[in-house]
Structure 1
Amino acid sequence: MSGILFAKMKMFLRKPWLFVIMSAVCVMFAFFTSNGGVDKIQIPYSVAGESAKTDQVIKELSQEEAFLFHEVTQEELTELVSEGKRDGGIILKESEFNIITSSRTGTTSLLQQAVGKAYGSIAYREALKVSADSKGIYAEEVDSWYSEAESSPVFSIDQSSFKGSDTFIYDPKLQSLFGFSLFFVIYTIAYNVATILFEKREGVWDRMILSPIRKWEMYAGNLVYSFILGYIQLLLIFFVFRYITDVEFYGGFTTVLLLLIPYVFSIVALSMLITGLVKKVQHFNAVIPIVAVSMAMIGGAYWPLEIVTSNILLGMSKVVPITYGMEALKGATINGWGANN
């Protein structure tokens, strides 16, 4: 078996392009379908006049988690909003602001609160400086106190939330990452397992049977090789999203890597089963795309199963490996399941 593994690895080093292409395509699909890692609402703003106060407002707005502000001219702002390319825009002035919208939506209220909060924070600082100045305290000293209070608050607030049993948490970044990773690794594993059919057709297995190696070792060597390749691909993809992009794994990254092991084994076993049912490489190449896409659609790789209402489709999903892979990965991350789950 070790000889087969060694030979397979040498062949992989000579032709690694399938592995590289599948990994790259998976990363691109997961990245772009999750909006490129950007989930903030883009809001254009324009500055009417110039003052130090508007610069402070812009600095405050840049810290907002829900919005991504970018500066444009007033004409461009009006055009973006009127054409529906942006939900709204703001015109910043020294002591007030104007919100430009084509219709009042929930975004309008949130935007008004965010900008009003920025102006209020600056006004509060100025009031502190005026009060301190009347007592002979320099403004720079007040700024240092304020910064220190922000970085080292006197007390902290812990937040917790609850949800009903019929609700689910949706993270578009993790949905895309998990779904496309589990989907594309099927092709990587399956086409490596398909070499069994090619070797049988070329008579390689007939010659190997005459050697001291046993038949189960030949199958085991191909199984282990396909597992290693599939698991390495998933590791590379997940490490890219963990350390290069801003995908949040909610503290379950290590658990996710462990949960990938049984999924990869199940796909290897399924691919082995298909090679036993079909007799030609052409048949295998025709069956795999149908099986992979069907499992991805039924198993919730493209969209969450929680939004599916058909009992027939939900029943079919119970026999698909991707269903349990997605459920386990989401449970280890956004659902916060422990080891007992």
Structure 2
Amino acid sequence: MRGIIWANFRLLLRKPGAFITTTIICIAFAYLLGKSSFTKVEVPVYSSLPEEEVNLIIEDLNKGDAFEFVVEDEQEVKNKVAAGSVEAGILLEADSFTLYQVGNTENFHLINQYVERYYIKRLKEKAVIDLAVDTNKALEKINEVKENQLFQLSLASFSDEEQWVYDPGLQSLFGFALFFSIYTVAFNVVEILREKQMGIWDRLILSSTTKMEMYIGNLLYCFFIGYIQIALIFVVFKYGAGVDFYGSFGKTLILIIPYLFSIVALSIFLTGIVKTIGQFNALVPLISVSFAMLGGAYWPIEIITSETLLTISKAIPITYGMELLKGATISGLSYSELLYPISILILMGVVMMGIGIRLMERRHV
């Protein structure tokens, strides 16, 4: 069995093209669709105001999640805007601001609205202070209002029936990682069918290796290769893109195990129902894309309102894979709270694995 696993890894090292390609494509898709949450848009600013006042303005502006305002000299800001290396540059003044741009860019209007809202708030506070008899008391009152907002905001778990939390970065990362792992696992599992049709298994059975060991060795290899791919993608995004896993990075590496088990089982099930490699190659993209759409890999499943689609999603492994990963990170759920999706994935895996192997053996492929 170990020899089969080792031989498959040796073959992978000889021809790693497909593995590397799917991994790079997955990283590219996840980054491009979730980049708004991975990085802030840099906005250079300059001002003739006193340094202390400029620093206070910059500190307030940088409290947002989307933009990072950086103080630079006037000429450098204008050169960057003219070269198109930044989307906009800003001149900060006491009561107003001037926005520099070359053309309409993706975030220009958002930057304008964000800074405009800040200055409106700033002018209102200044008007209150100017009209106040006691300036110190007015400042204290303003700070008190800031600390005790009229409306209190709270976060709720996506598993809550009424509310859910959406993290676009993790949504795209988890969704595409689980989606592309189907291709990686499935096109390695189908090698069992290819080897049986070529008579390789007939020759191996004559050795001391049993048929059970051959199945286990090949399926373990498929599991390991899928696990390595997902783990590699997660590592790249955590340490390369600085994605926040909410302190549950290690937990996600454990929770992908039941998902991958179900995908290996799904692949062997599909291998058992097809007759040729061509049929398998046509069926896998159809199944994987359908599962990704219905299981919440492309978009949050929480936005789906159709009861029919939600019912169908209950039979799809990606649904529970996304629930595990988002539950562990965004919602901070413990292992005991995630036992239900884990159990469903294991049950799916056992059933599909048994049926798939049974079908292959009955057909004497």
Q: TM (normalized to structure 1)?
A: 0.75
The residue identity in structure 1 corresponding to 2:30 is A
Distance 1:102 1:270, change over 3 A: closer
The residue identity in structure 2 corresponding to 1:161 is S
CA contact (8 A) 2:38 2:243 kept: no
CA contact (8 A) 1:193 1:222 kept: yes
The residue identity in structure 1 corresponding to 2:193 is L
Q: What is the alpha-carbon distance in structure 1 between the residues aligned to residue 114 and residue 292 of structure 2? A: 34
Q: What is residue 15 of structure 1 aligned with on the other side?
A: 15
Q: What is residue 313 of structure 1 aligned with on the other side?
A: 309
Q: CA RMSD in A?
A: 3.5
CA contact (8 A) 1:90 1:98 kept: yes
The residue identity in structure 2 corresponding to 1:18 is A
- C-alpha displacement of 1:210: 2.4
Q: What is residue 296 of structure 1 aligned with on the other side?
A: 292
1:216-235 map, 5 Å:
216-235=212-231
Distance 1:7 1:171, change over 3 A: same
Gaps of 5+ in 2: 100-107, 127-151, 338-365
- C-alpha displacement of 1:106: 7.0
Q: What is residue 161 of structure 1 aligned with on the other side?
A: 154
CA contact (8 A) 2:19 2:184 kept: yes
Match of 2:197 among 197, 201, 205: 201
Distance 1:336 1:318, change over 3 A: same
Q: What is residue 96 of structure 1 aligned with on the other side?
A: 95
Q: What is the alpha-carbon distance in structure 2 between the residues aligned to residue 334 and residue 315 of structure 1? A: 24
1:165-223 Cα deviation digits (max 9, x unpaired): 41100000000110000000111101111111221222212222222322121111110
Q: What is the alpha-carbon distance in structure 2 between the residues aligned to residue 213 and residue 114 of structure 1? A: 76
How many residues in Structure 1 have an aligned counterpart in Structure 2? 293
Distance 1:102 1:317, change over 3 A: closer
Q: What is the alpha-carbon distance in structure 2 between the residues aligned to residue 323 and residue 265 of structure 1? A: 14
Q: What is the alpha-carbon distance in structure 2 between the residues aligned to residue 291 and residue 239 of structure 1? A: 27
Answer yes or no: is 1:190 the counterpart of 2:192: no
1:1-341 map, 5 Å:
1-35=1-35, 37-38=37-38, 40=40, 45=45, 47=47, 52=51, 56=55, 60=59, 63-66=62-65, 67-69=67-69, 72-73=77-78, 91-93=91-93, 95-98=94-97, 107=114, 110-112=117-119, 161-163=154-156, 165-341=161-337
- C-alpha displacement of 1:266: 0.6
Q: Aligned residues: percent identity? A: 46
Q: What is the alpha-carbon distance in structure 1 between the residues aligned to residue 285 and residue 229 of structure 2? A: 19
Q: What is the alpha-carbon distance in structure 2 between the residues aligned to residue 9 and residue 161 of structure 1? A: 49
Q: What is the alpha-carbon distance in structure 1 between the residues aligned to residue 113 and residue 306 of structure 2? A: 32
The residue identity in structure 2 corresponding to 1:60 is E
Distance 1:11 1:173, change over 3 A: same
Q: What is the alpha-carbon distance in structure 1 between the residues aligned to residue 32 and residue 109 of structure 2? A: 28
1:54-77 Cα deviation digits (max 9, x unpaired): 754675367433333367559x79
Q: What is the alpha-carbon distance in structure 2 between the residues aligned to residue 68 and residue 270 of structure 1? A: 45
1:78-112 Cα deviation digits (max 9, x unpaired): xxxxxxx88xx85312x433366989997466433
Distance 1:104 1:338, change over 3 A: closer
Distance 1:103 1:281, change over 3 A: closer
The 3-state SS of whatever aligns with 2:288 is helix
- C-alpha displacement of 1:244: 1.6
Distance 1:240 1:206, change over 3 A: same
The 3-state SS of whatever aligns with 2:91 is strand
The residue identity in structure 1 corresponding to 2:268 is M
Q: What is the alpha-carbon distance in structure 1 between the residues aligned to residue 266 and residue 18 of structure 2? A: 20
The 3-state SS of whatever aligns with 1:211 is coil
- C-alpha displacement of 1:9: 1.6
Distance 1:73 1:61, change over 3 A: farther
- C-alpha displacement of 1:24: 1.1
Gaps of 5+ in 1: 78-84, 120-158
1:16-40 Cα deviation digits (max 9, x unpaired): 1111111111111111110265464
